[in-house]
C-alpha cells in the first residue's frame, strides 16, 4: 500500500472522477467508457479498482455521505439534527444524482455507517431512549430523503422564479377539474416570495417539535 510504484489510478481517484463527471454531465452520461475517457484510460482498466459499475455507484454515494456533517454527541440534539439536515441538503443538491441513487443501494459504505452512528449517538446523548432514537432517526431521514427527492426533481435552480417554473410545468397541462391545484398554484406558489425550499425548514421544525415533545415519553 505504501510503496506504490506506477502512479496510475487509485480507487479514490476513480471515485472522485466519477463524482465530478456525474456532477457535470449527469448520471446518465456516466458510463464506464466515459469515465475512463475522462481519466485518459481504457474502460476495462477501471475494473482493477472497482468490482463493477454497481460498486462504483456504491462508492460514489458513500463519498457524498462523507460530506455530510456528522452530529456531535456533545452538542444540543436539536441544533445538531438541524445542522445535519441542512448539511445533507447542501451535499445532495450539490450532487443531485446521489438522491436517485440512495434507493437501489442496499450495501452502505463506511462513511454512511459512521454518519448513522453519529446521528444515533447524538440522539442518545440528548436523552432519547433506544426505541425513541429509532423513531426519531426514521422520521428525520424520511423527511430528509423525501424532501430531496421532490426538490431534486423540480426542474430549476435555486435562484429561479417559481412562477415561471410553475408555468413551465403546468403550462401544457389542462387544469380543468383541478380547482385546488389551480388555486394553490395561482394564489400561492406562483406568487413572488414563495420558495419550495422554505418548506424544508417548516417541516423540519414541525418534526423537531414533535420529537421534543415525545423525547422523554416511551412510545
69 binds a second copy (CB under 8 A): no
Site for DNA in 42-81 (CB under 7 A): 42-45, 47-49, 52-54
210 binds a second copy (CB under 8 A): yes
Q: Provide, rounded to whole angstroms, the least separation between the CB of residue 215 and DNA.
A: 45
Torsion of CA 54, 5, 40, 19, to 10 degrees: 40
C-alpha cell, 19 = 463524482
* Angle of helix 130-153 versus helix 198-214 axis, rounded to 10: 170
By beta-carbon proximity to a second copy, the closer residue of 10 and 191 is 191
42 binds, among DNA, a second copy, none (CB under 5 to 8 A by kind): DNA
Q: Provide, rounded to whole angstroms, the least separation between the CB of residue 186 and DNA.
A: 34
HEC string of 49-111 equals CCCCHHHHHHHHHHHHHHHCCCCCCCCCHHHHHHHHHHHHHHHHHHCHHHHHHHCCCCCCCHH
Q: How far apart are CA 130 and CA 27, in angstroms?
A: 37
| Number of helices (H), then strands (E), in the chain | 10, 0
- Structural contact between residues 155 and 169, judged by C-beta atoms closer than 8 angstroms: yes
16 binds, among a second copy, DNA, none (CB under 5 to 8 A by kind): none
Burial class (CB in 10 A: 0-12, 13-18, 19+), 7: exposed
Build a one-symbol-per-residue string for 93-132: x at contacts with a second copy by CB under 8 A, - elsewhere.
------xx-xxxxxxx----xx-xxx-xx--x-----xx-
Q: Provide, rounded to whole angstroms, the least separation between the CB of residue 108 and a second copy.
A: 8
193 binds a second copy (CB under 8 A): no
Nearest to 18 by CA among 4, 3, 32, 2: 32
By beta-carbon proximity to a second copy, the closer residue of 83 and 140 is 140
Binding site for a second copy (CB under 8 A): 99-100, 102-108, 113-114, 116-118, 120-121, 124, 130-131, 133-135, 138-139, 141-147, 149-150, 152-155, 169, 173, 177-181, 183-184, 187-189, 194, 196, 199, 202-203, 206-207, 209-211, 214, 219
Binding site for DNA (CB under 7 A): 3-6, 8-9, 30-34, 36, 40-45, 47-49, 52-54
Amino acid at each position: 500500500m505504501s510503496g506504490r510504484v506506477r502512479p496510475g489510478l487509485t480507487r479514490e481517484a476513480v471515485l472522485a472522477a466519477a463524482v465530478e463527471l456525474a456532477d457535470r454531465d449527469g448520471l446518465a452520461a456516466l458510463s464506464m467508457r466515459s469515465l475512463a475517457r475522462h481519466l485518459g484510460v481504457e474502460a476495462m482498466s477501471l475494473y482493477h479498482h472497482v468490482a463493477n459499475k454497481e460498486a462504483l455507484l456504491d462508492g460514489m454515494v458513500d463519498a457524498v455521505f462523507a460530506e455530510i456533517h456528522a452530529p456531535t454527541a456533545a452538542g444540543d440534539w436539536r441544533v445538531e439534527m438541524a445542522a445535519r439536515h441542512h448539511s445533507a441538503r447542501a451535499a445532495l443538491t450539490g450532487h443531485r444524482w446521489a438522491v436517485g441513487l440512495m434507493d437501489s443501494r442496499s450495501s452502505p459504505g463506511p462513511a454512511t455507517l459512521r454518519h448513522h452512528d453519529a446521528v444515533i449517538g447524538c440522539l442518545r446523548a440528548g436523552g432519547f431512549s433506544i426505541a425513541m432514537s429509532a423513531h426519531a432517526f426514521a422520521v428525520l431521514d424520511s423527511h430528509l430523503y423525501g424532501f430531496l427527492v421532490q426538490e431534486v426533481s423540480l426542474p430549476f435552480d435555486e435562484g429561479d422564479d417559481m412562477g415561471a417554473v410553475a408555468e413551465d410545468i403546468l403550462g401544457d397541462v389542462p387544469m380543468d377539474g383541478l380547482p385546488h391545484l389551480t388555486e394553490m398554484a395561482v394564489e400561492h406558489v406562483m406568487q413572488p416570495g414563495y420558495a419550495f425550499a422554505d418548506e424544508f425548514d417548516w417541516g423540519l421544525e414541525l418534526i423537531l417539535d414533535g420529537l421534543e415533545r415525545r423525547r422523554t415519553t416511551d412510545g
